[in-house]
Structure 1
Amino acid sequence: MNALTDLFTIDRIALNSPCINRAEAFAAVGQLFSTQVGLEADAIVAFLNAREDLGSTALGAGVAIPHGRVKGLKQPIAAFFKLQEPIDFASPDGEAVSILIFLLVPEKATQQHLEILSSIAQLLSDPGARKTLASEDDPKKICNLLQSWGSA
């Protein structure tokens, strides 16, 4: 078991998402998370935008981890989006982003937040994992990779 095991479910894997910019991607994940955790979609988008305003959550190499601490959230929740077309995300390497892993954690979950972010960053920093995530079209396989990352 690792920090990502319980975060991802098949219904939070979106492949070939048609979002054409950051605002559309944030709105789509806001709606997804809203239906699953009962928070307002607009509030989720506001939390994500507030974090993004501090600096881009893009890591480079076409990936980003938009994230934030959310008041009223009971447990961490994550989603994986693979976009049909890459979007500008102010990446440090200037490369457009096509893989987004969204993470929301409870407002007070500081240490847990950092552990999960670290695991996601390690996953996305692995060229083999990135290649698999970018090329795989089976949501179950994506979900399994995300859930098992870092497990012995």
Structure 2
Amino acid sequence: MDAMNLTARILPPDNIVLDLAATSKKRAFEHAGLLFENHQGVARTAVFHSLLARERLGSTALGHEVAIPHGRLKDLREPHAAFVRLAEPVRFDANDGRTARLLFFLLIPETATQAHLDLLAGIARLMSDAGIRQTLTQSTDPREVHQLILTGASAPAPEHADHPRADS
């Protein structure tokens, strides 16, 4: 399955939220839990604890106000994704003061290791494009954001990419 089809399957338009007023990383994680519970039937507490547990291993902030909070869930059958743009950046890494505003949330089945890495790499590649980041920051239309993510996920890496780092 190519990147666009995989992204289209795991990122429904309903999982795009623009200008969420979250005052902290934990509040953003709580909202992601609600999104996944309401749209995919995944328990919000399981989502929250999975995201928080992964974040304790090291920040998922990539730079350029981008973060890819992700977690593994034992009973999940397939990956799920959400994109949340915060109204204001929140502190993501207490050690270096790094902030994030563009959040791609990924939930991965506990056993899916290669899929996990491929998804992380694809999102990091997408977010290395300054033009895509700018559009994601400025767009007021969730459908436009969804389409940009889908088409950007299938595009080759941009020549003048900023290359945010992706750590699993």
For Structure 1 versus Structure 2, the TM-score category normalised by the shorter chain is over 0.9
Please give the alpha-carbon distance, in whole angstroms, between the structure 2 residues aligned to 1:53 and 1:142.
Answer: 29
CA distance in 2, matches of 1:119, 1:127: 15
Equivalence for 1:109: 112
- Name the structure 1 match of 2:158: none
User: Structure 2: which amino acid aligns with 1:135?
Assistant: Q
| TM value normalised by structure 1 | 0.93
Give structure 2 stretches of 5+ with no counterpart.
Answer: 156-168
**Corresponding position of 1:147:** 150
3-state DSSP class of the match of 1:74? coil
Change in CA separation of 1:82 and 1:150 when aligned onto 2, cut-off 3 Å: closer
| Secondary structure in 1 matching 2:8 | coil
TM-score by length of 2: 0.85
Structure 1 vs Structure 2 CA RMSD: 1.6
Would you say the 8 A contact 1:86–1:96 is kept in 2? yes
Q: Match of 1:89?
A: 92
- Percentage identity across paired residues of the two chains: 43
**Alignment length (residue pairs):** 152
Q: Offset at 1:68?
A: 1.2
Cα distance change, pair 92–99 in 1 and its aligned pair in 2 (3 A) = farther
Structure 1 window deviating more from structure 2 (54-63 vs 6-15): it is 6-15
Q: State the Cα distance separating 1:67 from its structure 2 match.
A: 0.3
Partner of 1:134: 137
Partner of 2:49 in structure 1? 46
- Provide, for residues 20-43 of structure 1, a one-character-per-residue CA deviation record: whole Å limited to 9, x for no partner: 101110000101101223232111
Shift of 1:4: 2.1
